[in-house]
Amino acid sequence: MKAFIVDRYGKNKPLRAGDVPEPELRADEVLIQVHAAAVNLIDAKVRNGEFKLILPYRTPFILGHDVAGVVIRVGPRVSQFKVGDEVYARPRDLRIGTFAELVAANEDTVALKPRNLTMEEAASIPLVGLTAWQALVEKAKLRKGQKVFIQAGSGGVGTFAIQLAKYLGATVATTTSAGNVALVKSLGADVIVDYRKDAFEEQLRDYDVVLNSQDEKTLKKSLGVLKPGGHVVSITSPPDLQFGKDIKASWLVRLVFRVLSASVRRQAQRLKLNYTFVFMRGSGSQLKQIAALIESGTIRPVVDKVFPFDATNEALAYVESGRAKGKVVIKVR
């Protein structure tokens, strides 16, 4: 099968297009014929080697974290899916590889594709949808009447998180450029800060939750917009101690996480705030709930561009440029 492969870690290294064997199907996995795959910033970060500490992929490996397609084979222990099902998924870490014609995914990470979406639209959802769900619903427990600040509202996670937060009944503030104000407003943003003109930390006060998707400098500024008892959930950095326990990291890696997060944790503690780091995991059960929200019209996908499969490297470069509004997708089939 054709795939796009990381031969060596390195910044700005193009993926190699090549022919590789079909993935080996485990007993609890389904084999998905890939129709579309989304491109995410994490793809570039994994290729660059930025996650080697927690995701030790051995080169060569196939990149890609989001998929929509059709089940063409099932393992003997699979009970939820059958051949011919249209599905979408975010495969487990260390089993990624959606920039390919076929990918194997554990059935627990797979859900039936929302019926009202194209394959390209469906492929845009899993990673950002699960990230927003696990940050706002699982960790922050965002509820009706609360105020949430979602950074970078026109990005992949931001466009989904704004809609999810509005569904949960929250008042939503976000940052974006002037050219994207209409987009984030159409998604439900109540308060919009033009980051090129205004400092959000001077505009926002007494928020209950912050969803941080930017750098540590922005994270520390965000602590100031929260009221005591508020919760900042970061999906970028730095990893906290609980995350080290969750992934059963070695004592040395946990020590690294302790050092990396020390400054943020101290500042949060001083302000009487809660700090949590979220590294999204695949979840078919959550994708099923997300599919229901999409089919009801509560949440809609935001797709910026669709690239042909042969242009996967160009799609990855476009995501790295930071210019995308919503998601970037490659059409595989």
Per-residue pLDDT tens digits for 35-80: 999 999 999 999 999 998 889 999 999 999 999 999 999 999 999 9
Sheet arrangement for strand 226-234:
191-194, 171-176, 147-150, 207-212, 226-234, 274-277
Alpha-carbon torsion (273, 277, 283, 289), positive or negative: positive
108 contact partners, CB below 8 Å, separation of at least 6: 28, 282, 283, 284, 285
Q: What pLDDT was estimated at residue 249?
A: 80
Q: What pLDDT was estimated at residue 203?
A: 96
Low-confidence ranges of the chain (pLDDT < 70): none
Sheet arrangement for strand 2-6:
16-19, 2-6, 61-62
Amino acid at 176: T
Q: Is 315 helix (H, G, I), strand (E, B) or coil?
A: helix
Structural domains in the chain plus CATH codes:
2-124+301-331 (3.90.180.10), 128-277 (3.40.50.720)
Q: What pLDDT was estimated at residue 250?
A: 85
Cis peptide before 60 (omega within 30 of 0): yes
Distance between CA atoms of residues 106 and 109, nearest Å = 6
In which region does residue 78 sit, left (phi positive, over 0), alpha (psi from -120 to 50) or beta (all else)? beta
Q: What pLDDT was estimated at residue 244?
A: 83
Distance between CA atoms of residues 270 and 290, nearest Å = 36
